[in-house]
Amino acid sequence: MRWTKYLIWLAAAGAFYALTLALSGAGFISRFMLMTMVQICIYIIMALGLNLITGFTGQLSIGHAGFMSIGAYAAGFLASTYGGRVSAALTEALGGAGGAAVYYIFILATLAAGAFVAAAFGVLLGLPTLRLRGDYLAIATIGFGEIVRIVLLNTKALGASSGLPVKNSVGWTTAYWLMLLSVVLIYNFVNSSHGRACISIRENEIAAETMGINTTKYKVMAFALGAGLAGLAGGIYANHMYLIHPNSFNFLKSFEILVMVVLGGLGSITGCILGAVVMTVMNNALSAFPEMRMIVISVLLVVMMIFRPNGLMGTTELRLPFRRKAAGGKEDVTHGL
């Protein structure tokens, strides 16, 4: 049962992927659309991470762009500093095609490194600051994000104010599959006992503690995982966008991610995916009217919040109607992945 489900899932994801490849091959998807799609994947990964921290665990964090920049600079630095040498050595050792294949693994390794470094910073920030509550935590995380930005602006080895040029070596394929992987990861985490523990902290921290849940441990865990995902997204961003600049990761970027998560629905995986897609598409769709773009977005945001204060999805997940009928909640809990 479990495996058939996986297979169906995988087949559908693969089918969509094949569809995009076919469409872009036939010229129906322009480069700009493809880049937009990659950006959507990046933002979905970011939003998933923040949703785990803010939506599921209930810790308000507005420093997510800081983690993203850490991941972006870690991956970008590795790729730009060692990429050329690794690529040359590999081509020599394995020939063109084999070398390129192994080089791709190197790039994936830089992404993993970016995610890992960001996660480490997540723990580092998480441990001391998680005793802060609500808005105090929010401002501390904003502060963290800004400190990261200022450090990067002052670090000559990372390009400082000129930015760090990184070759474009990651495209739609990588972004898409890593995004799916992140969805699966977060889905499984949230539906595991760890995830339940996180949700219990959101619902009532004191009650959770009374029930014997080590709240600090789970908060740090959520922070590490969320930061790691932000780092992964940053790595993809760095390897896709040709250049990374510290000011691309200022606190307005953190706001943007938070808006996606809240707009979609805190504590809903499908919701934050929806939020990321809606915001990115809206941003690009309005790019022909630059002076009106932000006005329209801000008005929509305010109106949205007034009429749907819990976001598009609330805490519920989007399901297929016929599936909902067939599925018992009990099965969901016991057999959930």
Total residues found in the chain within this entry = 337
In the numeric block, which tokens belong to residue 77? 């630095």
In the numeric block, which tokens belong to residue 285? 């769709």
Among 1, 26, 97, 157, binds another protein (CB under 8 A): 1
Among 18, 84, 162, 203, binds another protein (CB under 8 A): 162
In the numeric block, which tokens belong to residue 291? 């002076």
Please give the single-letter amino acid code of residue 323: R
Q: Is 266 in the site for another protein (CB under 8 A)?
A: yes
CB of 146 to another protein, least distance (A): 5
Q: Which residues pair with 244 in a beta bridge?
A: 164
Residue 204's φ and ψ, nearest 5 degrees, are -165, 105
259 neighbors 275 (Cβ within 8 angstroms): yes
Q: Is 155 in the site for another protein (CB under 8 A)?
A: no
Q: Which stretch binds another protein (CB under 8 A): 74-82, 84-92, 105-113, 327-335?
A: 327-335
Among 118, 241, 257, 279, binds another protein (CB under 8 A): 241
Q: Is 181 in the site for another protein (CB under 8 A)?
A: no
* Parallel, antiparallel or unpaired: strands 164-165 and 243-244: antiparallel
Q: Which stretch binds another protein (CB under 8 A): 6-14, 82-90, 100-108, 212-220?
A: 6-14
Q: Based on CB atoms, which residue is closest to another protein, 59 or 110?
A: 59
CB of 230 to another protein, least distance (A): 15
Rounded CA-CA distance 86/253 in Å is: 33
The helix/strand/coil state of 244 is strand
Q: Which residue matches tokens 């390794």? A: 109
Q: Based on CB atoms, which residue is closest to another protein, 46 or 259?
A: 259
Q: Is 105 in the site for another protein (CB under 8 A)?
A: no
CB of 65 to another protein, least distance (A): 12
CA 28 from chain center: how many Å? 27
Alpha carbons within 13 angstroms on the beta-carbon side of residue 37 total: 20
CB of 127 to another protein, least distance (A): 10
CB of 94 to another protein, least distance (A): 25
Among 43, 237, 279, 312, binds another protein (CB under 8 A): 237
- CA angle at residue 106 from 104 to 111, to 5 degrees? 95
Among 7, 8, 105, 211, binds another protein (CB under 8 A): 8
Among 60, 94, 100, 108, binds another protein (CB under 8 A): 60
